[in-house]
Amino acid sequence: MSLIAPSRAKGSQKFGARRTENHRIYAHPLPLVFLPPASDSLFSSSRLLSLVGLSPTRVENPRCECVFDPATRSVWVTNERDSTILWRRGFFGKGDLSRSEPSWLTRQINARKAAGKYMTSEEIREKRRAERRQFKLDRAAAIARAAAEAEAAFAEGREAAPVAIPSGATWKPSVVAETSLPAAPPMLEEESESEGEVEEEEPLENVEHLQLTLQEAWFLVWNLDCLSVLDPQTNEPMTLPQIWHTLLTAHPAPPSLRAEAEQRFDNPFLVHYAAYHYYRALGWVVKGGLKFCVDYLLYKRGPVFHHAEFAVVVIPVYEDPQDQASSPFTLPNAETFSWTWLSTVNRVNSQVQKTLILTYVTIPARSRVSPDILSSPACLAHYSVREVVLRRFIPARMRD
């Protein structure tokens, strides 16, 4: 079942002054870049290749490197060049010190430039949050006063005095937010100018790295062959079988069942990778959806251009119920969920204009498929993915 994006309001796109620049920076959907032949001298050979059905296009492979981190069950890209490539070409990973794009160094530089002059975007955001929090407190206090006045008036047999309840359109903060920065003391500026001494700031070191999930790392390794995973102990590149074994054993299991966990089709890595690969193969940009109580968010082009249109909940389905009874893993959503839970998740995503998708990943039965096939990625061909799209009925929005 392919996904067709519904008609969206104009607010779903992220417009701004840098829209044209973003189209240039994020022009490539994947780390691999397909280029024309190197020079005109290859015209004759290119024409000959075209006649026999072969493409003369060159493929530019960035050959990025990362290190597997067993503590966080993720891989770290510490090289700034590789981090930039993986983010700008497909929006893979996230900065460990940022909300999405690894921009910690840029934000620190902007904070230094803005010190004492103007507020940075982070400070403006915190100021707005503080004002919004204060507005809710003031409104709640006004409602409590109105209720107390109405109750007292009813007991005394008089008409209740009006109590002004603030609204979002008329309310204004009564105190200056703490995040506003005062100007630099003029005395210090005069002293520094008179003495002719300029204090040099220490250069900033970029301590942020790009963090990839196991699913993102394996997609880049296996499908695109543009990522090398280094062993955290030896710092040497791991082979493809070693990477596969490492990812299968990344999730914890009881010590008594740890050996058996490598021979299980319900391994959490396999179940979630089946869903991740399915949507990536359809051309969607897949990101984590923990903020909205789901497993994945689907972007049409990427978080720079549009907001996520779909929210995906991965639901494992055992082909053989006996496999679930003997499983060492406790997979989320494997048990029957309640309508309360489903309504809650659906409402959260409907309020942010996202369509909820229940993605059922069928786990093959061990009685039908030999566990020996788990020694290679060929086992992924035995998984199947089905989708159910849910939309919450909102009378105020759906009258037309």
Band of residue 260 on the pLDDT scale cut at 50, 70, 90: confident
Break the chain into its structural domains and give their ranges. Answer: 119-180, 261-400
**Dist CA 54 CA 107 (whole Å):** 47
Q: What is the mean pLDDT of residues 285-311?
A: 94
Distance, C-alpha 130 to centroid of its chain: 26
User: Mind listing the pLDDT tens digit for each residue in 108-166?
Assistant: 888 888 777 777 777 788 888 898 899 999 889 989 999 998 899 888 888 888 888 88
**Catalytic pick from 277, 300, 354, 382?**
354
**Dist CA 348 CA 39 (whole Å):** 54
CATH no. of 261-400? 3.40.1350.10
Cβ–Cβ under 8 Å, residues 380 and 219: no
Which one has a higher pLDDT value, 394 or 80? 80
User: Mind listing the pLDDT tens digit for each residue in 171-220?
Assistant: 888 754 444 444 444 444 444 444 445 456 778 888 899 999 999 999 99
Q: What is the mean pLDDT of residues 76-97?
A: 95
User: Mind listing the pLDDT tens digit for each residue in 262-278?
Assistant: 788 999 999 999 999 99
Residue 29 scores a pLDDT above 50: yes
| HSE, side-chain direction, 13 A CA sphere, residue 246 | 24
Q: What is the mean pLDDT of residues 222-237?
A: 94
Residue with tokens 């250069």: 203
**Catalytic pick from 28, 251, 306, 307?**
307
Q: What is the mean pLDDT of residues 334-352?
A: 90
**Dist CA 296 CA 353 (whole Å):** 15
Name the H helices within the chain.
Answer: 19-25, 43-51, 80-88, 104-114, 121-156, 186-195, 214-218, 240-248, 258-261, 268-281, 321-325, 339-351
Residue with tokens 């299991």: 253
The pLDDT value given to residue 104: 87
User: Mind listing the pLDDT tens digit for each residue in 242-258?
Assistant: 999 999 988 877 666 66
Is 287 a residue of the active site?
Answer: no
User: Mind listing the pLDDT tens digit for each residue in 303-322?
Assistant: 999 899 999 999 999 999 99
Band of residue 379 on the pLDDT scale cut at 50, 70, 90: very high
CB atoms within 10 A of CB 301: 16
CB atoms within 10 A of CB 142: 15
Residue 329 is classified by DSSP as -
Is 354 a residue of the active site?
Answer: yes
**Lowest pLDDT segment from 41-50, 112-121, 371-380:** 41-50
Listed ranges 93-102, 216-225, 334-343; the one with the highest mean pLDDT = 216-225
**Dist CA 66 CA 161 (whole Å):** 68
Size of the chain in residues: 400
Mean pLDDT of the chain: 83
Is 272 a residue of the active site?
Answer: no
Per DSSP bridges, beta strands 33-35 and 58-60 are antiparallel
Band of residue 4 on the pLDDT scale cut at 50, 70, 90: very low
**Catalytic pick from 299, 300, 382, 383?**
299
Structure tokens belonging to residue 208: 């942020």
